[in-house]
């Protein structure tokens, strides 16, 4: 807990993230990953490989942008920096390790930005304008971000409103990716499964909240919360899909 408190204090982020809980969730993700590094490793490796597969067909003479890159666990940054003229990492916050990696590589920048362009008030879901007129943009990847857009933002809402707003945030993100002036890749949760003590699926949740998901080119399982993380007997796994070009 002390480490998490210190990280919360020293991690640079957009100003609203401390009062809305976004920074607390950012720090908590790192803590969960430390507890379950081995369980998360296959998912992280598959995510990095999917990003590289999509990036391999993009024009390298320009800018690559990775959305949701604050921790870099699932981002092959060195490979991207070697391929593209420059790389921009986008998130609400960035870990110290991510900032060090960006400085070391030289052609990487950390950009603090709310990709929903709707926070913190969330009185209406915006149509994002970020990157739509960016010169030299050659590759964009949204990496394990989509289902997280509404997790903290809708936490204080009733279930019906949370689902409606969450779906709007997801639909706006997908529509925005399709409007970018370059191909965009998407890696995201496709379903969330709650497993009982016997390992059978006890419940399935829709991370798209009713929105229509795009097709997938590859899918895998992420054992995000082994037994003991949520409670002593139940575990959680995500089915993750990669779409090379949305």
> Which residues are bridge partners to 221 per DSSP?
239
Number of domains in the chain: 1
Is 167 within the bounds of a domain? yes
Q: What is the CATH number of the domain that holds 84?
A: 3.40.50
Is 192 within the bounds of a domain? no
Is 236 within the bounds of a domain? no
**Intervals of the chain under pLDDT 50:** none
Q: Which domain holds residue 91?
A: 2-187
Residue 8's pLDDT is 80
Is 119 within the bounds of a domain? yes
Kindly give, in sequence order, each residue whose CB lies less than 8 Å from that of residue 152, ignoring residues fewer than 6 positions away.
Answer: 20, 21, 22, 25
Give the 3-state secondary structure of residue 70.
Answer: coil
> Which residues are bridge partners to 188 per DSSP?
241
Is 59 within the bounds of a domain? yes
Q: pTM of the full predicted structure?
A: 0.95
Give the 3-state secondary structure of residue 116.
Answer: coil
Is 242 within the bounds of a domain? no
* Residues 38-92 pLDDT 10s: 999 999 999 999 999 999 999 999 999 999 999 999 999 999 999 999 999 999 9
């Amino acid at each position: 807990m002390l480490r998490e408190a210190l990280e919360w204090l020293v991690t640079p982020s957009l100003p609203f993230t401390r009062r809305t809980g976004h920074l607390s969730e950012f720090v908590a993700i790192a803590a969960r990953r430390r507890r379950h590094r081995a369980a998360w490793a296959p998912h992280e490796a598959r995510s990095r490989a999917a990003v590289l597969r999509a990036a391999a067909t993009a024009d390298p003479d320009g800018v690559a942008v990775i959305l949701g890159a604050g921790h870099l666990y699932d981002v092959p940054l060195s490979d991207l920096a070697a391929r593209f003229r420059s790389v921009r990492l986008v998130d609400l916050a960035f870990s110290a390790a991510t900032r060090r990696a960006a400085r070391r590589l030289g052609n990487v920048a950390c950009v603090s930005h709310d990709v929903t362009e709707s926070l913190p008030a969330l009185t209406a879901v915006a149509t994002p304008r970020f990157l739509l007129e960016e010169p030299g943009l050659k590759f964009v990847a949204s990496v394990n971000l989509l289902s997280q857009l509404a997790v903290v933002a809708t936490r204080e809402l009733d279930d019906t409103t949370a689902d409606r707003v969450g779906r709007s945030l997801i639909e706006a993100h997908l529509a925005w990716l399709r409007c970018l002036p370059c191909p965009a890749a998407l890696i995201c949760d496709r379903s969330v499964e709650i497993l009982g003590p016997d390992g059978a699926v006890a419940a399935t949740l829709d991370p798209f909240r009713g929105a229509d998901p795009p097709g997938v080119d590859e899918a895998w399982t992420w054992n995000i919360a082994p037994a003991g993380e949520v409670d002593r007997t139940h575990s959680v796994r995500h089915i993750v899909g990669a779409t090379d070009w949305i």
